[in-house]
Amino acid sequence: MTFLKTMGFSIVAMFLFAAFSNILPQVQSDAPVEEEIPTDGFDMAGMIAYGERLFTGKGTCTLCHNDLGRAPDLLVMNLSTAFNDRLADPRNEGVSAGGEGASDVEAYLRESLVDPSAYVVEGFGKKGSNDTISPMPAVDAPPIELNEVELNAVIAFLQDGAGWDPTVPLPSAEEAVIEEEPEEVESAEPETDPLVVLDNVYCAGCHDLEGSEADVGPNLDDIGTRMTQGEIIEAILYPNAIIADGYEADYMPEDFGEQMHTVELMVLVDYLINLSN
Ligand code: HEC
Ligand code: HEC
């Protein structure tokens, strides 16, 4: 009986999702490939371009830095005004406090990436922390885990966006082997390993999954005891329909339905439900 019930749920949910996922493009990416960049070809322009790809790709920065309003919209705002203001802000007790110019901005950005709570942009701190604790995870630690070259590339991208010549060092010959995000390809083959799906859609950046300890959203370990399969699917496809108690709306991206194949959504939901068993 329970089995039949679950089957029934799955099928209804599959149809619901398939009904509109079919009109959306099925975007899927292949596993990252190592790509060797010759050092003489990896100049500052290459570094900036690499930083931009990391910002929207592996760095998962756009999960939060977007127009939902929960983090500064770094791709849209005037970066030079903003970064100058941060350096001059009396609340800033970080390494860049009181400094000015490109290299102090580099220091500010590096600290923002590896120690986000050192200085929290006003109004963006964790609920109840009075802007002393940042919701942003340190991006040099798991799960995002950018390495030194990647951090430098992202900083170069943001310095360039603010109109400064980047001051970061260029990678040495050995460091120039970088992990390239693959181009997104239209694919008919959905991923059936839930851990690979998780890696692609990056739930662990905000939820404590696979030991990420992220706490922007609720812990999902016991989600199977709190929500039905249908409710979990709804929470993923329409995050703002119901807001979990104690958490904020407009954080969780609303486009996971476009990023996942129906089959991927289902294996992911099954995986989450089974976490509590
Ligand atoms: C889980 C959400 C989240 C993710 C992922 C995230 N950030 Fe942030 N970030 C924030 C929030 C919220 C703030 C504002 C609070 C603060 O100052 O820490 C912030 C602040 C910043 C700032 C300071 C902005 C300013 O206006 O001075 C920089 C720079 C930054 N993030 C860069 C990045 C980069 C680069 C990545 C990806 C490698 C990233 N962030 C990933 C949420 C996030
Ligand atoms: C940028 C941060 C972010 C990302 C990425 C993210 N979430 Fe969320 N999620 C949240 C926040 C914040 C909430 C609480 C507010 C709400 O209910 O919308 C939430 C709520 C949820 C809930 C409801 C939990 C409850 O207790 O009511 C589920 C289920 C969920 N997320 C699953 C996922 C899955 C699966 C992924 C990956 C496909 C994901 N989330 C990616 C931030 C995020």
Mean pLDDT of all residues belonging to the chain: 85
For the whole model, what pTM was predicted?
0.84
Tell how far the Cα of 173 is from the centroid of ligand 2, in angstroms.
Answer: 40
List pLDDT tens digits, range 50-107: 999 999 999 999 999 999 999 999 999 999 999 999 999 999 999 999 999 999 999 9
Check if the beta carbon of residue 251 is closer than 8 Å to that of residue 70: yes
Predicted confidence (pLDDT) per residue in 107-127, tens digit:
999 999 999 999 999 999 998
Rounded distance between C-alpha atoms, residue 161 and residue 115, angstroms: 21
Domain residue spans of the chain:
2-29+186-275, 38-180
Residue 206, token pair as written in the block: 């905000």
pLDDT given at position 18: 52
Residues within 6 Å of ligand 2 by CB: 63-64, 201-203, 205-207, 216-218, 220, 223, 226, 232, 235-236, 239-240, 243-244, 247-249, 251-253, 256, 268
Cβ atoms 122, 91 nearer than 8 A: yes
Nearest CA to ligand 2 atom 37: 203
Residue 214 confidence (pLDDT) above 50: yes
**Hey, which residues does 35 pair with through a beta bridge?**
178
- The answer to whether the beta carbons of residues 214 and 205 sit under 8 Å apart is yes
Is CATH 1.10.760 the right assignment for the domain spanning 2-29+186-275? yes
Percentage of the chain exceeding pLDDT 90: 64
Distance of CA 205 to the CA centre of its chain: 6
Single out the residue of 68, 40, 39 nearest to residue 255, CA to CA: 68
d(CA 201, CA 78): 29
Ligand nearest the Cα atom of residue 87:
1
Comparing 131 with 128, the larger pLDDT belongs to 131
The CB-side HSE value for 104 (13 A sphere, CA atoms) comes to: 16
Which of 61, 67, 196, 207 for mutating ligand 2's site (highest number of atoms within 8 Å of CB)? 207
Q: Which ligand is closest to the CA of 135, given by its number?
A: 1
For residue 29, name the pLDDT band (cuts at 50, 70, 90): very low
* Cβ–ligand 1 contact at 112 (below 6 Å): yes
Among 202, 174, 166, smallest CA distance to 49 is for 166
Q: Is the CB of 116 under 6 A from ligand 1?
A: yes
Whether residue 32 has pLDDT greater than 70 = no
Note the pLDDT tens digit of each residue in 173-199. Answer: 777 766 665 555 555 688 999 999 998
Nearest residue by C-alpha to atom 19 in ligand 2: 217
- Ligand 2: centre distance to CA 146 (Å): 23
pLDDT at 231: 96
Asked whether the beta carbons of 176 and 37 are under 8 A apart, the reply is: yes
Determine if ligand 1 sits within 6 Å of the CB of residue 230: no
